[in-house]
């Protein structure tokens, strides 16, 4: 027999099995989700959710697809949050401090309350990565923010109006494009292909009878 | 947190760990693999397939659930919309906002076309976002596109369309370079060399990754680029029917707002289907690692308009879906876990196979070990086997898991399982649609002019099984080709009078074939209720 718990979806009470995630509990209760449901596996950030356990003063945040229901859980989903995303040309920006000042000057209004970090559904140190962004340390900002699913909960709690996920997105692109070391073997291979180095080899494979392809495959050497 | 019922089996796994790490299991022979697949792979269960009675692939077999959607009634009839007053009029209409659709839109925009994306959820709600392990490209000294070709062709049982596969492997390094140039952060060493690993069935270490958020890192970057370019994204809006012109060429789509159900007409000179996969069809009752909208919509849209399918009878069951705890049942446990050294171990603590066989072979082998040999672990949700993740730390050193597969550590950590110290339970999960719409190397369908397809909705790139890391690759390579081709074709296209005549023609075929159905398609979203929760 399943153990049942009471949850409150947007204030309305439902009785659901205690082994369900919040997302599954909503479906169990009869919701056909359109908003607030994406990958269902913790990667897309569609199902940001705010909840409070009755009698507890602390407001908690989570991804609905990754969190089990609890008894007396008051749940409100946050399927959309108006983040500010500034538009820029990745080929025309450079990884200097100025770019953050131009695009996201509000990060310098951070009051250090740490509400972003406390609310992060991925348990990232959000305030720290914003601090890195303020100082133009984009490599560190990129690493610290890497697991961000851009659910927007941090921004919903920010008194300074910062759109943390978008700041981090910019930092990661700057790092990936401009700061990470260049990859020589990749550039070389792209050039070799342009020069037609492998053309004959590939053309031979295109013509080869299936039996010969099988032989080639089944006897191929596998790198240790 | 594992309950007591697992203790004995976990102890067996721990006791054998040191020996199992040192043990080098032999790979199966071609004959052993063939025999195994025929007996245990879900693709070979004849009773789960049905012959199509109508359409371009009449007489061929597809999964029963897909047949029902392909031979269902349309959501609309021609009278429901006024084609003479389009709500949108663009050069290129991209249906789908995942990796393939976004790549296509970026390239079409780059080529100067007026391009628009429609997507039934949000841009980025796609299987691309959930791809964890990596993306293949033969860019190392000891590797070549030719070796990549042989690996993929053999892994796909020699069934791939070679003209598509050669595009895939020859454009792979350029795809990585393109993504890097957009700012995607691949794992590199201090000198800039790509950190690459094996995937199942690869003969060279050519798996590039961004930790185990590879797809998410690619997808969020592509999304950011789409938005930077000002490409319109009409979200929460699904294509429910293609529109053709009087000459039978694709010329737009009827769209439906997912919230208000309002119908809209989008006219276009060329159309790109980039609607992704079908995991939410739950073929054969399997759980899935796919996102919420993976319901084979593009196959239905294309098929009804006259496009042909290729290999729609073959699905990929990822060998390692989470089997426990039930809250993440069916979720993907990336193949990278095995690339980094974790082996599959049965309830008795025995390694029963090489951990990096191709996915179809690995899945079939797990099914055999559990269901036939009785060496599975009872999870409360069926059977599972151990994937011995602590081996990774023993081999790669402490901290390897946190550095290389943080998403896996987090996913299990939420349920009190520390994968650095405890093994995890896995069982195959429905992961990928190997088949799809048949295309030429320029991505145009073989059946309908000006209709292009890219990404998981394509059939034939991988043959009858896909290697890890070739899907993130194909969405980029063919997404870009589709965008470039569709933009170029616009310049020589004049759209004739629009028509939805094919709906009535298809309805007549349904009636003539004696098909009685109350189903309508495309499905758009699965329906999960009280007793139907996957």
Sort out which chain B residues have CB atoms less than 8 A from A146's CB and list them.
185, 211, 213, 217, 406
The pLDDT tens digits of the residues spanning B489-508 come to: 999 999 999 999 999 999 99
Rounded Cα distance, A118 and B33, in Å: 51
Question: Distance, in angstroms, between A135 CA and closest chain B CA?
Answer: 20
Residues of chain B with pLDDT under 50: none
Residue A115: phi and psi, rounded to 5, are -65, -35
Q: Is residue B324 within 8 angstroms of chain A, CB to CB?
A: no
The reported pLDDT for the residue numbered B1 is 81
User: Exposure pattern of B14-53 as b/e (b: 16+ CB <10 Å)?
Assistant: eebbeebbeeeeeebeeeebeebbeebbbbeeeebbbebb
User: Closest partner residue to B150 among A149, A176, A220, by Cβ?
Assistant: A220
User: Closest partner residue to B228 among A87, A175, A193, by Cβ?
Assistant: A87
Nearest CA in chain A to B289: A41
Rounded Cα distance, B465 and B360, in Å: 7
**Three-state secondary-structure class, residue A57:** coil
Q: Which residues are CB-neighbours of A129 under 8 A, at least 6 positions away?
A: A140, A141, A144, A145, A164, A167, A168, A171
Residue A223 forms part of a structural domain:
no
Whether B338 is catalytic is yes
Q: Do β-strands B237-245 and B135-136 pair in parallel, antiparallel, or remain unpaired?
A: unpaired
**To the nearest 10°, the Cα dihedral for B206, B211, B215, B219?**
-120
Which of A 78-137 lie inside 8 A of B, CB atoms? 85, 87-90, 122-123
| Interchain contact, A186 vs B149, CB within 8 Å | no
Same domain, A40 and A67: yes
Same domain, A65 and A131: no
Q: Which of B30, B327, B408 to mutate to test the interface with A (most CBs of A within 10 A)?
A: B327
Q: Give B387: exposed, middle or buried? Use CB within 10 Å, 0-12, 13-18, 19+.
A: buried
Residues in chain B: 534
Question: What DSSP line would sit under B365-380, residue for residue?
Answer: HHHHHHHTS---EE-S
Q: Give B368: exposed, middle or buried? Use CB within 10 Å, 0-12, 13-18, 19+.
A: middle
The pLDDT tens digits of the residues spanning B55-107 come to: 999 999 999 999 999 999 999 999 999 999 999 999 999 999 999 999 999 99
Q: Span A31-42, mean pLDDT?
A: 96
Rounded Cα distance, B259 and B275, in Å: 19
Distances in whole angstroms, Cα of residue B497 to Cα of each of B25, B62, B84, B487: 63, 34, 8, 21
Task: List the Cα angle B140/B144/B147 in 5-degree steps.
Answer: 125
Question: What DSSP line would sit under B132-179, residue for residue?
Answer: -S-EE---STT--HHHHHHHHHHHTTT-S-HHHHHHHHHTHHHHHHHH
What is the interface size between A and B, counted as CB pairs within 8 Å? 220
Q: Tell me the H-state helices in A137-207.
A: 138-144, 153-156, 164-174, 184-194, 199-207
- 8 A C-beta contact, residue B446 and residue B438: yes
The reported pLDDT for the residue numbered B531 is 65
Task: At B473, list the tokens.
Answer: 């690759």
Nearest CA in chain B to A208: B162
Q: Is residue B185 within 8 angstroms of chain A, CB to CB?
A: yes
CATH assignment of the domain containing A68 = 3.10.20.740
Quote the distance between the C-alpha of residue B166 and its chain's center.
Answer: 20
Residue A90 forms part of a structural domain:
no
| Interchain contact, B407 vs A214, CB within 8 Å | no
Question: Distance, in angstroms, between A189 CA and closest chain B CA?
Answer: 6
* Rg value, chain A, Cα: 25
For tokens 């595009």, the residue is B167
User: Closest partner residue to B192 among A172, A183, A216, by Cβ?
Assistant: A183
Residue among B522, B463, B489, B511 at smallest CA distance from B113: B489
Same domain, A17 and A56: yes
Q: What is the ipTM of this complex?
A: 0.98
Rounded Cα distance, B442 and B471, in Å: 18
Rounded Cα distance, B406 and B216, in Å: 13
Rounded Cα distance, B27 and B44, in Å: 22
Same domain, A56 and A17: yes
Residue A45 forms part of a structural domain:
yes
Q: Which residues are CB-neighbours of B125 under 8 A, at least 6 positions away?
A: A38, A39, A44, A46, B97, B98, B119, B291, B292, B293
Whether B208 is catalytic is no
| Interchain contact, A28 vs B216, CB within 8 Å | no
Residue A154 forms part of a structural domain:
yes
Residue A120 forms part of a structural domain:
yes
Residue among B228, B480, B108 at smallest CA distance from A90: B228
Rounded Cα distance, B459 and B437, in Å: 5
Same domain, A54 and A118: no
Residue A89 forms part of a structural domain:
no
Question: Distance, in angstroms, between A152 CA and closest chain B CA?
Answer: 14
Q: Which of A29, A39, A206, A219 to mutate to test the interface with B (most CBs of B within 10 A)?
A: A39
Same domain, A64 and A121: no
Nearest CA in chain A to B412: A66
Of B157, B318, B466, B480, the catalytic one is: B318
Same domain, A175 and A189: no
**Three-state secondary-structure class, residue A54:** coil
Sort out which chain B residues have CB atoms less than 8 A from A168's CB and list them.
none
Distances in whole angstroms, Cα of residue B420 to Cα of each of A107, A143, B337, B390: 36, 21, 11, 5
For tokens 């209760």, the residue is A29
Distances in whole angstroms, Cα of residue A111 to Cα of each of A32, A59, A84, B444: 40, 20, 19, 54
Residue A87 forms part of a structural domain:
no
Q: Is residue B192 within 8 angstroms of chain A, CB to CB?
A: yes
The reported pLDDT for the residue numbered B532 is 65
| Interchain contact, B216 vs A177, CB within 8 Å | no
| Domains of chain B and CATH, by start | 4-40+317-430 (3.90.700.10), 73-314+434-501 (3.50.50.60)
| Interchain contact, B174 vs A190, CB within 8 Å | yes
Same domain, A63 and A18: yes
Same domain, A172 and A105: yes
User: Closest partner residue to A172 among B27, B183, B205, by Cβ?
Assistant: B183
Same domain, A15 and A59: yes
Q: Is residue A21 within 8 angstroms of chain B, CB to CB?
A: yes
Q: Is residue B257 within 8 angstroms of chain A, CB to CB?
A: no
The reported pLDDT for the residue numbered B529 is 80
How would residue A2 be classed by pLDDT, with cut points 50, 70 and 90? confident
Q: Do β-strands B436-438 and B424-433 pair in parallel, antiparallel, or remain unpaired?
A: unpaired
Nearest CA in chain A to B184: A176
Total of domains in chain A: 3
The pLDDT tens digits of the residues spanning A90-128 come to: 999 999 999 999 999 999 999 999 999 999 999 999 999
Residue A112 forms part of a structural domain:
yes
Same domain, A194 and A164: no
Same domain, A171 and A101: yes
Nearest CA in chain B to A139: B185
- The domain of A50 spans 4-77
- 8 A C-beta contact, residue B153 and residue A210: no
Sort out which chain A residues have CB atoms less than 8 A from B140's CB and list them.
185, 189
């Amino acid at each position: 027999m399943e153990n049942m718990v009471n949850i409150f979806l947007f204030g309305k009470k439902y009785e659901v099995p205690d082994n369900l995630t919040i997302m599954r509990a909503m479906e169990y209760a009869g919701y056909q989700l359109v908003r607030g449901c994406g990958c269902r596996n913790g990667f897309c950030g569609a199902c940001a959710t705010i909840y409070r356990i009755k009698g507890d003063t602390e407001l908690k945040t989570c991804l609905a697809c990754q969190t089990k229901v609890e008894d007396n859980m008051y749940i409100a989903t946050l399927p959309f949050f108006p983040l500010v995303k500034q538009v820029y040309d990745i080929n025309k920006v450079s990884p200097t401090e100025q770019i953050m000042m131009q695009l996201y000057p509000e990060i310098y209004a951070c009051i250090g309350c740490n509400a972003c970090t406390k609310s992060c559904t991925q348990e990232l140190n959000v305030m720290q990565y914003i601090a890195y962004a303020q100082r133009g340390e984009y490599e560190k900002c990129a690493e610290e923010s890497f697991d961000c699913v851009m659910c927007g909960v941090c921004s919903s709690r920010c008194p300074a109006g910062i759109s943390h996920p978008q700041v981090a997105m910019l930092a990661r692109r700057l790092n990936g494009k401009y700061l990470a070391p260049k990859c020589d073997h990749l550039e070389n291979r792209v050039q070799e292909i342009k020069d037609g180095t492998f053309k004959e080899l590939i053309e031979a494979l295109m013509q080869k009878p299936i039996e010969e392809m099988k032989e080639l495959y089944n006897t191929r050497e596998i790198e240790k | 947190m594992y309950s007591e019922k697992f203790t004995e089996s976990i102890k067996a796994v721990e006791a054998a760990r040191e020996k199992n790490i040192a043990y080098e299991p032999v790979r199966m022979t071609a004959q052993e693999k063939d025999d195994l697949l025929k007996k245990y792979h879900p693709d070979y269960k004849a009773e789960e397939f049905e012959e199509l009675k109508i359409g371009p692939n009449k007489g061929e077999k597809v999964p029963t659930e897909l047949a029902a959607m392909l031979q269902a009634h349309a959501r609309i009839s021609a009278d429901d919309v006024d084609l003479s007053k389009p709500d949108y009029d663009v050069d290129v209409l991209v249906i789908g906002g995942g990796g393939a659709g976004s790549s296509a839109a970026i390239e079409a925009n780059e080529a100067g076309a007026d391009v628009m994306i429609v997507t039934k959820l949000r841009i980025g709600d796609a299987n691309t976002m959930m791809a964890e392990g990596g993306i293949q490209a033969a860019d190392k000294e000891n590797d070549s596109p030719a070796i990549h070709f042989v690996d993929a062709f053999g892994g796909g049982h020699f069934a791939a369309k070679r003209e598509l596969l050669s595009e895939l492997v020859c454009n792979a390094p350029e795809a990585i370079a393109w993504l890097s140039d957009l700012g995607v952060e691949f794992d590199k060493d201090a000198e800039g060399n790509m950190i690459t690993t094996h995937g199942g069935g690869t003969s060279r270490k050519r798996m590039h990754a961004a930790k185990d958020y590879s797809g998410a890192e690619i997808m969020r970057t592509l999304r950011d680029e789409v938005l930077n370019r000002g490409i319109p994204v009409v979200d929460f809006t699904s294509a429910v029917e293609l529109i053709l012109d009087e000459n039978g060429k694709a010329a737009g789509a009827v769209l439906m707002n997912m919230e208000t159900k309002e119908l809209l007409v989008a006219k276009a000179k060329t159309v790109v289907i980039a609607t992704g996969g079908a995991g939410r069809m739950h073929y054969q009752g399997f759980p899935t690692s796919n996102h919420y909208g993976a319901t084979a919509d593009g196959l239905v849209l294309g098929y009804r308009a006259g496009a042909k399918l290729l290999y729609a009878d073959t699905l990929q069951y990822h060998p390692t879906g989470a089997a426990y705890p039930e809250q993440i049942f069916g979720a993907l446990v990336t193949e990278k876990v095995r690339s980094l050294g974790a082996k599959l171990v049965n309830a008795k603590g025995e390694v029963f196979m090489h951990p990096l066989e191709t996915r179809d072979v690995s899945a079939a082998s797990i099914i055999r070990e559990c269901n036939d040999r009785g060496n599975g672990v009872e999870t409360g949700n069926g059977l599972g086997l151990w994937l011995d993740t602590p081996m990774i730390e023993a081999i790669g050193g402490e901290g390897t898991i946190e550095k290389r597969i943080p998403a896996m550590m987090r996913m299990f950590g939420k349920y009190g399982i520390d994968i650095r110290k405890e093994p995890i339970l896995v069982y195959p999960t429905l992961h990928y649609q190997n088949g799809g719409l048949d295309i030429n190397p320029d991505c145009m369908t073989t059946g309908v002019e000006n209709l292009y397809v890219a990404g998981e909705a394509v059939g034939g790139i991988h043959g009858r099984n896909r290697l890890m890391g070739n899907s993130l690759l194909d969405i980029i390579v063919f997404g870009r080709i589709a965008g470039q081709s569709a933009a170029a074709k616009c310049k020589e296209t004049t759209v004739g009078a629009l028509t939805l005549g094919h709906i009535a023609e298809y309805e007549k075929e349904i009636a003539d074939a004696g098909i009685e159905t109350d189903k309508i398609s495309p499905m758009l979203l699965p329906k999960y209720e009280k007793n139907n929760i996957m």
